[in-house]
Chain A
Amino acid sequence: MSDKYLWDRSGEPDPDIERLELLLGALRHRAGALDYTRMPAPAPPSGLIWRWRRSILAGAACAAVVLVAAGLWWRSPKPVPAAAPSPSPWLVRSLTGTPDVAGTPLQGELRVGAERVIETDSASTARLSATGVGMIDLGPGTRLRTVTAGEGEYRLALERGTLDAHIWATPGSFSVETASATALDLGCSYRLEVTEDGSGRLHVTLGWVGLGQHEVESLVPAGAVCILKRGAGPGTPHFADAAGALVEALSTIDGSPDRMPAQALETALAAAGPRDAFTLWHLLRRAAGQDAVRLYERLAALSPPPAGVTRESVLAKDRTALESWWNTFGLGDAALFGRWRARAAM
């Protein structure tokens, strides 16, 4: 037996070990994204429980007194205090050159409020950061607006140019509006580019981004890109290194929102491999009639649906069936869609 090969695959290969590696490699970990939406509510550390209990008992006695006082106060007429504006979370600074903030050249570092425009020219770049939210780098030739958002929400609007976002805020709390779709952070890093005409491209490098516009939604995992077309919303996401023929066919399909061009669909079905299952899945959700049947058959051949997910339920666009199938792709939990919809409905 070759211990060298067993240790680090150097030295003379051991045929038994090679065979086992080949066989057992099928069970290897397939790293999808870590799904923070499954995070349970944090429990207090056990060492603190007694301290908490003591505090609760002491607090309960005080609360009784406070409640009586509050009841008396509640019954008396009182003026309504004006809501104090919360300080803006965004801090902007120049990385290169002299960016412009609200029409004024940026000197040093500046906290920017809502509805302010930050603009870089061809020789400048800038960085926005917010404690507990993340960091957004603006490339040259970018125009970005800070948008008024509700409590716990952080919103920007990219009018043109490029931004690189690294977000560590709670998934679903940071979003970027563009003319063609809104990108909702689901725990990730990504690059978003928007051209002068409002079209664009999203490339996710870590985690997930949900893209939506009206009824169209796309969920883009790490390593994938999605083209945005003004008026058409987000396109069909695909891996950045997907076959050229598939990418070209998707571009044709996304450019024809009413019906799928037969030749392009044919090409997409032929060019898609097992890794492209999530791309076909997105197409299937948007397809109807025979197009949907053909997509179902190809997707089932590449990545069979799990037990309980029938052809009929998929073709009827049953949400549970589609999301159960999605969960077999190893790209994260379809619960992300729920988070996307909940946020989109707000």
Chain B
Amino acid sequence: MEGVVDATLRIEDARLVDRMEPGLDDNRALVLAAQGGDREAFGRLYQRFGPMVHGVLLTRVPFGEVDDLVQDVFLSAFQRLTTLRAPGAFGAWLAAIARHRAADFHRRPAAEQMADDVAAEDARPRAEALAALAAIQSLPAAYRETLVLRLVEGMTGQEIADRTGLTPASVRVNLHRGMKRLREALESNRGAR
């Protein structure tokens, strides 16, 4: 009986927050609901944080692997969600899982990675886009994620800060310096051709 009421409240809370502009408090409510097993709430977290996880992975693994790994990261997060003590830190926690998952990917046997790279070639949407992505991947780690979240995933600086747990000031600096380095890298690539 109590469980039924709880479940009802969870899903109604999740619906309520979905009507509002997503903010930290809304995410916290969704995380709490998802910790109670509410898949609808977790589905909304997936919609909100999917681009951030996608961006974090995109700086580390081949493009053709990213979609599968995004699913892995969220399913892994769903399983471990009850271990997250601070629901407000969900974004930073999720980003850490994504970085670990990317590191695991590179620990796989070379033969498996080679097979995946072939698949990635097939999934190539546009050579030019991948060349630009490669230029971003060549930058220092601090700039890569921020630039991918801004230029690929289309997030604003504030959204990047909200989703990753970085301060807005850090995001601003990373964007400014990263963009400067990216222009130089692209210019150098053009000169080399």
Asked if B151 and A34 sit within 8 Å, CB to CB, the answer is no
Beta-carbon contacts under 8 Å, A1-32 to B: 1, 3, 6-9, 16-17, 20-21, 23-32
* A135 at the binding interface (Cβ < 8 Å): yes
Which residues of B (73-97) have their CB < 8 Å from a CB of A?
Answer: 74-76, 78-79, 83
Least CB distance from A26 to B in Å reads 5
A22 smallest CB distance to B (angstroms): 9
Say yes or no for A330: interface residue by CB 8 A criterion.
yes
Cβ-defined partner of B1 (8 Å) among A32, A45, A91: A91
* Cα of A166 to Cα of B11 in the assembled complex, Å: 8
Q: How far is the CA of A36 from the CA of B150 in the complex (A)?
A: 29
CB contact between A9 and one of B37, B71, B156 (< 8 Å): that residue: B156
A306 contacts B4, C-beta separation under 8 Å: no
Return chain A residues, CB-CB under 8 Å to B76. 40
B-contacting residues, A157-212, CB 8 Å: 166-168, 187, 189, 206-207
Cβ of A209 to closest chain B Cβ, rounded Å: 14
Chain B residues with CB under 8 Å of A33's CB are: 43
- Is A61 in the interface zone, CB < 8 Å from B? no
Partner of A91, one of B4, B122, B151: B4
Contact A21 B8, beta carbon cutoff 8 Å: no
Asked if B143 is at the interface (CB within 8 A of a chain A CB), the reply is no
Interface residue? A72 (CB, 8 A): no
A36 touches which of B7, B39, B130, B157 (Cβ 8 Å): B39
**Is A67 at the interface (CB under 8 A from chain B)?**
no
Measured between beta carbons, the chain A residues less than 8 angstroms from B119 are 307
Query: Contact at A129–B4, with CB atoms within 8 Å?
Result: yes
Q: Are A27 and B157 in contact, CB atoms less than 8 angstroms apart?
A: no
B193 at the interface (CB under 8 A from A): no
Contact yes or no, B156 A29, CB < 8 A: no
Query: What's the Cα separation between A227 and B41 when bound, in Å?
Result: 28
Q: How far is the CA of A130 from the CA of B75 in the complex (A)?
A: 24
In the complex, are the beta carbons of A42 and B79 less than 8 A apart?
yes
Kindly identify, within residues 121 to 141 of chain B, every residue whose CB is under 8 Å from any CB belonging to chain A.
Answer: 122, 125-126, 128-130, 132-133
Question: Interface extent on B, as a size class?
Answer: 35 or more
Give the shortest distance, in Å, between B70 (CB) and chain A (any CB). 7
**Contact check: which of A23, A28, A34 meets B74 at CB < 8 Å?**
A34
**Stretch from B22-30, B51-59, B101-109 at the A interface:** B51-59
A220 to chain B, nearest CB (A): 16
Contacts A25-B154, A31-B47 hold; do A131 and B172 have CB atoms under 8 A apart?
no
- Complex Cα gap A21–B132 (Å): 10
CB distance from A94 to the nearest CB of B (A): 14
Which of B7, B54, B156 contacts A135 (CB under 8 A)? B7
Q: Which A residue's beta carbon lies closest to that of B37?
A: A168
B132 touches A24 (CB 8 A): yes
Contact B129–A26 (Cβ < 8 Å): yes
Contact of B51 with A207 in the complex, beta carbons under 8 Å: no
With A29-B54, A129-B4 in contact, is A135–B75 under 8 Å at CB? no
Alpha-carbon distance between A289 and B11 when the two chains are bound, in angstroms: 48
From the candidates B50, B75, B179, name the one contacting A38 in the complex (CB within 8 A): B75
CB atoms of A39 and B152 under 8 A apart: no
B126 touches A3 (CB 8 A): no
Complex Cα–Cα for A25 and B153 (A): 7
Q: Which residues of B are found within 8 Å of A32, using beta-carbon distances?
A: 67
User: Roughly how many angstroms separate A6 CA and B67 CA in the complex, as a whole number?
Assistant: 26
Known: A31-B50, A38-B75, A40-B75. A135 touches B11 (CB 8 A): yes
Other A-B contacts than A21-B154, A40-B75, 4 sampled, CB-CB below 8 A, are: A7-B172, A24-B132, A24-B151, A166-B11
Closest 5 A-B residue pairs measured CB to CB?
A29-B54, A131-B3, A8-B156, A168-B39, A7-B157
Binding site for A on B (CB under 8 A): 1, 3-4, 7-8, 11, 37-40, 42-43, 46-47, 50-51, 53-55, 58, 63, 67, 70-72, 74-76, 78-79, 83, 119, 122, 125-126, 128-130, 132-133, 148, 150-154, 156-158, 172, 175-176, 179-180, 182-183
* Pairs across A and B, CB under 8 Å, 25 listed: A1-B179, A7-B157, A7-B158, A8-B157, A9-B156, A16-B183, A21-B151, A23-B126, A24-B132, A24-B152, A27-B58, A27-B125, A27-B133, A27-B152, A28-B154, A31-B46, A31-B50, A36-B39, A38-B75, A39-B79, A132-B7, A135-B8, A168-B38, A189-B40, A206-B40
